[in-house]
Amino acid sequence: MDNGNKKGNRLIIYHIIFWIFYIVYESSYLIAFSHVNTSIFEYCYYYILNICLFYWHFNTLNRGLLKSRSRYLFIGISIVMEMIVVLIFKGIWDYFALRKTVSTQQLFGQLKFFVGLDFYRNLYYLFMSSVIWSAINFESLRKKTIEASLMQALAEKGKSDLQYQYAKAQNAFLKQQINPHLLFNTLNTIYSAVYVNAPNESEAVLLLSEIMRYSYEEPDAEGMVALETELCQLKNLIRLNSYRFGNNVQLDYRINGDPANHRIIPLVLITLTENMFKHGDLRLEPRSVEITISEIGNLTFVAKNVPKISGKNEPTTSVGLINTRLRLDYAYNENYQLDVKHTDELFSLELTINLAYERSNI
């Protein structure tokens, strides 16, 4: 009993240390780069709500997915309730805070803006809670599924084909994994709920759903997708990120040439553009993405932005860029070129791909 109490106390301490480091890091970042001036009491109020949402959602996943039979309807309804309850508490605070600083005519518009920011913040903590829950419980779910499959195989008589039993066990395991459709159905539910009161802000949920659905889709037998599809989702990514900055940051995005009848390995252009949002200071110019497709099938992707202030200039050590190079090496061999230049004033990236290469080698 004492060991159990010690283990529980130790776990609580780890959680407290994690949240302290996380809050200090995020607050320092906001103060340093966004110049946010917020009272300590207001920080505490919002972080308490965010942390409560994190653990509420974590408990919802435990109750809905760790049972003998998963309850997807319960999870969907619970997620909507989590969002609504936390938004109400944040909205009440926003209302009383804004009433002191803006006129009555401006109150509704400002309140709508801040509730939209609160909504995106809630989505972030739901996503973070889901990822951590999946990482913690994946192994136990995998073992539980395999054990159930083996017990079923042993109970069956007259079926001695080991390969057949193995195939059934694998099929049962796949069925008991968290279904991506759960995520998409939940996002659709959230979209419908938000659209009633904030139709403009609800577009962000729709864009997020489309991008995530695209990331789950399987490419063709050669590992390729239509270039037009990649460019469509790239446009969605740019639009989604504009919501993060309150539409104050707009990339100079241009496409020259016809992408029809061309294919490309998925998520390459999206990863390179996301790298700009992650590491660039998009409040400053240049902040441009230009894509050119020639008639003979050469694609050129050029991105330029001002880098955020950091201690070291090591752009090529970025995990995203390293993985992108590996994928390009595998798919295009020597039929591509990726050049990265990084100074304190400018980060520029140019990718050239011979899209006709994969067609000539099928």
pLDDT per residue as tens digits for the range 187-199? 566 656 565 566 6
Residue 216 lies in a domain: no
Confidence (pLDDT) at 361? 46
For 159, counting Cβ atoms within 10 Å of its Cβ (0-12 exposed, 13-18 middle, 19+ buried), the class is exposed
Q: Based on the fold, state whether residues 43 and 188 are members of the same structural domain.
A: yes
Confidence (pLDDT) at 201? 65
What DSSP state is assigned to residue 286? Answer: -
Residue 342 lies in a domain: yes
Calculate the CA dihedral of residues 155, 160, 163, 169 and round it to 10 degrees.
0
Picking from 157, 185, 152, 190, the residue whose alpha carbon sits closest to that of residue 171 is 152
Q: Alpha-carbon distance 186 to 75, whole Å?
A: 8
Phi-psi bin for 246: left (phi > 0), alpha (psi -120 to 50), beta?
Answer: left
Q: How confident is the model at residue 316 (pLDDT cuts 50, 70, 90)?
A: very low
Confidence (pLDDT) at 359? 46
Average pLDDT, the chain: 78
Confidence (pLDDT) at 360? 46
User: What is the domain-level CATH number for residue 339?
Assistant: 3.30.565.10
End-to-end CA distance of the chain: 64
Give the helix/strand (H/E) hosting 350: strand 347-354
Residue 307 lies in a domain: yes
Residue 8 lies in a domain: no
Q: Based on the fold, state whether residues 135 and 58 are members of the same structural domain.
A: yes
Is the pTM above the cut of 0.75?
no
Q: Alpha-carbon distance 304 to 350, whole Å?
A: 9
Q: Based on the fold, state whether residues 193 and 46 are members of the same structural domain.
A: yes
Side-chain-side CA neighbours of 144 within 13 Å: the count stands at: 13
Residue 32 lies in a domain: no
Mark which of 197, 219, 237 sits at the end of a domain. 197
- Domain range for residue 157? 38-197
SS3 track for 51-93: HHHHHHHHHHHHHHHCCCCCCHHHHHHHHHHHHHHHHHHHHHH
Q: Based on the fold, state whether residues 246 and 149 are members of the same structural domain.
A: no
Mark which of 197, 216, 251 sits at the end of a domain. 197
Q: Which pair of tokens denotes residue 194?
A: 């938000």
Strand partners, 303: 289, 349
Q: How confident is the model at residue 274 (pLDDT cuts 50, 70, 90)?
A: confident
Q: Based on the fold, state whether residues 91 and 236 are members of the same structural domain.
A: no
Q: Alpha-carbon distance 176 to 156, whole Å?
A: 20
Q: Based on the fold, state whether residues 51 and 189 are members of the same structural domain.
A: yes
Q: 325 phi and psi, to 5 degrees?
A: -60, -40
* Angle separating helix axes 40-65 and 72-99, nearest 10 degrees: 170
Q: Based on the fold, state whether residues 143 and 281 are members of the same structural domain.
A: no
Q: Which residues contact 339 (CB under 8 A, 6 or more apart)?
A: 349, 350, 351
Residue 203 lies in a domain: no
Q: Based on the fold, state whether residues 49 and 190 are members of the same structural domain.
A: yes
Q: Based on the fold, state whether residues 236 and 188 are members of the same structural domain.
A: no
> How many domains does the chain contain in total?
2
Comparison of pLDDT for 122 and 2, the residue scoring more: 122
Residue 248 sits at the vertex; the CA angle it makes with 246 and 250, to the nearest 5 degrees, is 115
C-alpha distances (whole Å) from 300 to each of 268, 279, 320 are: 12, 21, 19
Q: Which residues contact 157 (CB under 8 A, 6 or more apart)?
A: none
Residue 288 lies in a domain: yes
Helix, strand or coil for residue 245? coil
Residue 243 lies in a domain: yes
The mean pLDDT value for 34-57 works out to 81
Name residue, tokens 């006709």.
Answer: 356
The mean pLDDT value for 315-320 works out to 54
Q: Based on the fold, state whether residues 175 and 69 are members of the same structural domain.
A: yes
Q: Based on the fold, state whether residues 346 and 277 are members of the same structural domain.
A: yes
**For the chain, how many residues are written?**
362
Q: Based on the fold, state whether residues 283 and 170 are members of the same structural domain.
A: no
Name residue, tokens 């709508």.
Answer: 112
Comparison of pLDDT for 247 and 50, the residue scoring more: 50
Mark which of 182, 197, 212 sits at the end of a domain. 197
Q: Alpha-carbon distance 127 to 121, whole Å?
A: 10
